Amino acid sequence: MTYAEALQYLDSFLNYEQTVQYHYPEAFSLDRVRALLSRLGDPQNRYPTLHVAGTKGKGSTCVFAASILQAAGLRTGLYTSPHLFSIRERFQINGVPISEPEMTGVVDALRRVSPEKELTYFEVTTACAFLHFARSGVDAAVIEVGLGGRLDATNVLNPAVTAITPVSLDHMDKLGNTLAQIAGEKAGIVKSGIPVVVSPQPPEAVETIERTAQKQGAPLHRLEREVSVREPKISLQGSTASFQTPVRLYRQVQVPLLGRHQLINAAAAIRLTELFAERGAVPALSEESVTQGIARVRWPGRCQLVEGTPPVILDGAQNAESARVLKETVRELFPGRPVILIVGTSADKDLEGMAGVWGAWAKRVILTRAAHPRAASLDSLEKAFAAAAVSVERSESVDEALQKAKEKTAPGDLIAVSGSLFVAGEALKRLSSVDGGPGREQPRSRPPTEEAKRR
């Protein structure tokens, strides 16, 4: 098997990341994931794991946690999704994506155990991650939930600790129309006797999570009660703050990811790794490993500033709450700067909610779509912004939207690109003029294969 053949083999599985047309929960089965992992020798049981769910900030929390453990001397696996450029970004060890030969070997091993044809793309890639980490002898792995939690393929884990980052309305056609319903799905990762760190939540969500933790007998650690963020200073270089936890005071920690909200994600990662150490999974964490680990984090496409004239902010905000956070972050970092907003979303998102948040904020709004099957049509985007009484321009591609934005910028303008990580990734590739960052293949933009459609 070559690397290209490995990618082709993965593409033969039905990919719900490429379509919104499926019925939740019937589309998912933890039993078939467990059966596949059993044939692979249950690689997920060969190292301790940290399991993280949530609507917003779960990827950033995972990256912070993995970097802390790496700074503590652990060989640390990190599994996240989706990717910006290459699928190899999803499987990292000590911050390095899986190599093409390693990826090929893992996929070939999976193929040899003859996975059921009903398995999905995310289910088989999750199995690939667990196998890669086992083969590589990691000391620990940080695993991000893909969708929801209860039925997510990653929920076959027996983690040492879990975390639930802020919950908000997203994937409502799949997870439920209320915060309580969505929080219930996220809380599906809570396990009996396993500590769970809970980031600040709306009351409806935290009540659901608390009930689940009590029912499971899982120690609940409310972040706002256990960690205080002291003297935060926000700048274009990130943030600086001290974090007081039940273990110690971490002084003047440099948080390189932009935005005040990243202080909450960093705090969650600190408490998560402290509890991981208390469980005996790793030696006690030093103040130095925490501060160095957080300071070293790089996480493209998340409130990422690309300097230039004009400067560009790239972000994957994809619901009304994350749209609000992006707007507040830009206003704090660039007070008074007029914003040219480039927006492209997936078709299953709350377009009206995002338009309501962003509409009156932007000087100009340029609608676009990523080269991805789930991308919302320009007509549906325009309809959403029209409901918010916002006039818009249209561009058929992210490249064209960037060019149009730059052609009419005035001194002092700022360009913000958001709506999905797919749009942010295409913009980043265009702006950085590279061949795809850590991987060479293009973002996955093909529709499901005919074989996958028949399945």
pLDDT tens-digit map of 307-335: 999 999 999 998 899 999 999 999 999 99
Residue 119 to residue 99: CA distance in whole angstroms: 24
> How does pLDDT run across 69-128, given as a tens digit for each residue?
999 999 999 999 999 899 999 999 999 999 999 999 999 999 999 888 789 999 999 999
- Tens digit of pLDDT for each residue in 265-283? 999 999 999 999 998 877 7
Collapsing DSSP states into helix, strand and coil, what is residue 418?
strand
E strand spans, 179-237: 196-198, 220-222, 228-235
Which residues of the chain are in CATH 3.90.190.20 domains?
A: 304-432
Range(s) within the chain of domains with CATH label 3.40.1190.10: 3-295
Span 406-438, pLDDT tens digits? 998 999 999 999 999 999 999 999 998 533 333
Element of type H or E holding 153: none
Q: Is the pLDDT score of 442 beyond 50?
A: no
pLDDT above 70 as % of the chain? 93
Exposure b/e, 45-55, CB count within 10 A at least 16 = b: eebbbbbbbbb
- Cis before 200 (ω within 30): no
What pLDDT is recorded for position 22? 60
Q: Is pLDDT of 350 > 90?
A: no
pLDDT tops 60 at residue 453 = no
CATH fold for the domain made of 3-295: UDP-N-acetylmuramoyl-L-alanine:D-glutamate ligase (3.40.1190)
CATH number (3.90.190.20, 2.40.128.520, 1.10.10.10, 3.40.50.300) of 304-432 reads 3.90.190.20
pTM across the whole model? 0.91
